[in-house]
A = this chain, B = another copy of it.
Amino acid sequence: MSEERTRAPRDPAGRKKAIELAAAELIAHEGTKKLTHRRVAERAGVPLGSTTQYFSSIDELRHAGLAVLAQQVGEDYEGMFRRIREQGGTADAFANELVAYLADMKQVNADAAFVAAAVHDPAIRALYRSACEFAIAQCVPFMSETQARAFVIYLDGLTVDACLLDNPARPDDVRFAVHAIMGAALDDGGCNLQP
């Protein structure tokens, strides 16, 4: 037999990170319900025992995975707002970035998975809250707080609906909504408005 089980070299930090990432990916793809030690171990390419070595319970492992997701969401937001600033913070800049964000279904799904996990987990809700507050803070240089809150709520709805509906918001829809919220006139004259 060539069953030469060779033990993995020591690398606690890398091991833990690999497990967290595997958990995050699984949560993004299938939700927290199907997160088991076995599946995480398999995806991370580590033996079952390693998943319990670094996380004292499945709850902790799940939260670690969700924290990774939260981190990713935060980084996505940072990048998005940086690019918005670089474009001058105009309504068009906001709209462009929202559209670009929605085009990346991987990102959208991870975000939606995070929301779904937060609904029944207070600890995750705290992370979600932080992300929202961050987003609002990023908006205020370019609009009032009221507008910022409206924008973020719209963004959250956009994320959820992009994940849940086959026919997500069209670019024009996004442009319209952003301009409406930010109080900016649309170039095309707002032809779609109410009669």
Q: Which residues of A contact B (CB under 8 A)?
A: 30-33, 112-113, 115-120, 125, 128-129, 132, 142-147, 149-150, 152-158, 160-161, 163-166, 169, 172-173, 176-177, 180-183, 190, 192-195
Contacts and interface: CB of A to CB of B under 8 A. Distances in A.
Contacts of A177: 150, 153-154, 181
Nearest to A181: B180
A194 B158 contact: no
Contacts of A116: 115-117, 119-120
Nearest to A129: B165
Given A150-B154, A153-B177, A182 B194 contact: yes
Given A116-B116, A119-B164, A193-B183, A157 B147 contact: no
Given A125-B164, A164-B119, A146 B33 contact: no
A144 B113 contact: no
Contacts of A169: 149, 153
Contacts of A163: 119
- With most chain B CB atoms within 10 A of its CB, the pick from A120, A172, A183 is A120
A159 B153 CA distance: 9
A162 B158 CA distance: 15
